[in-house]
């Protein structure tokens, strides 16, 4: 059984086996959570991302997929980078967002991670409405078979926290 917990705060301050990054396909950093993770995690994360780009992910990490690196100076063993879809009006891209959670948990299982912290993927710069992002996140985690014992959603502000709390019921 996977327990879902909610925390309001900065994901880079969390202690967990794995911290999920809402990255972009380049894997080379950006704003939002991505910027914060690289800033606090230090250069070791970017160094591994560059190696991934030089190797298997020469064209970048596709939307909906996930890949792990070291967590550098973060209080975690791994960062799992996933690329959420941008929200596009009139287009249903929710399967791609669900895939981010499923694939991140699959990578976590491969690593043997037991506690995994997620941000609200796609709900910032990529424009996904928070309520819907929360619904997809919670539904997908509940529907995924995984050995991860705790999935912790780390929400940056009160509205995001409340959107996730509403989904947990």
Instruction: Indicate which residues carry an active-site annotation.
Output: 34
Residue 92 CB, shortest distance to ligand AR6, in Å, is 17
Sequence-ordered list of residues with C-beta below 8 angstroms from that of 117, at least 6 positions apart, any chain: 7, 11, 14, 16, 18, 19, 20, 76, 152, 153, 154
- What the block records as the tokens of 84 is 């959420």
Helix (H) or strand (E) run with residue 133 in it: helix 130-143
148 near ligand AR6 (CB under 6 A): no
Instruction: Give 61 or 105: the residue with its C-beta nearer to ligand AR6.
Output: 61
User: Residues 84, 94, 115, 116: which binds ligand AR6 (CB under 6 A)?
Assistant: 84
- Give me the phi and psi of 45, to 5 degrees please: -70, -50
Would you say 44 or 147 has its CB closer to ligand AR6?
44
Draw the binding track, 6-45, toward ligand AR6 (x: CB under 6 A; -: no contact). Answer: ----xxx---------xxx-----xxxxx-x---------
Interface with ligand AR6, residue 149, by CB under 6 A:
no
Element (H, E) at 132: helix 130-143
Of the candidates 118, 156, 161, 164, which one interacts with ligand AR6 according to CB under 6 A?
156
Backbone angles phi, psi at 90, to 5 degrees: 80, 5
Specify the stretch interacting with ligand AR6 by CB under 6 A; choose among 48-56, 59-67, 102-110, 113-121. Answer: 113-121
């Amino acid at each position: 059984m996977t327990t879902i917990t909610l925390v309001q705060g900065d994901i880079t301050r969390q202690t967990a086996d794995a911290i999920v990054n809402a990255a972009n396909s380049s894997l080379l950093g950006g704003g939002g959570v991505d910027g914060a993770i690289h800033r606090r995690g230090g250069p070791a994360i970017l160094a591994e991302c560059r190696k991934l780009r030089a190797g298997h992910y020469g064209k970048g990490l596709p939307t909906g997929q996930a890949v792990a690196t070291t967590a550098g100076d973060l209080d975690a063993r791994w960062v799992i980078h996933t690329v959420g879809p941008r929200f596009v009006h009139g287009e249903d891209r929710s399967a791609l967002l669900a895939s981010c959670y499923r694939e991140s948990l699959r990578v976590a299982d491969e690593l043997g991670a037991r506690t995994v912290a997620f941000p609200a993927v796609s709900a910032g710069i990529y424009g996904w409405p928070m309520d819907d992002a929360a619904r997809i996140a919670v539904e997908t985690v509940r529907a995924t078979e995984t050995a991860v014992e705790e999935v912790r959603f780390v929400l940056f502000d009160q509205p995001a926290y409340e959107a996730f709390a509403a989904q947990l019921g």
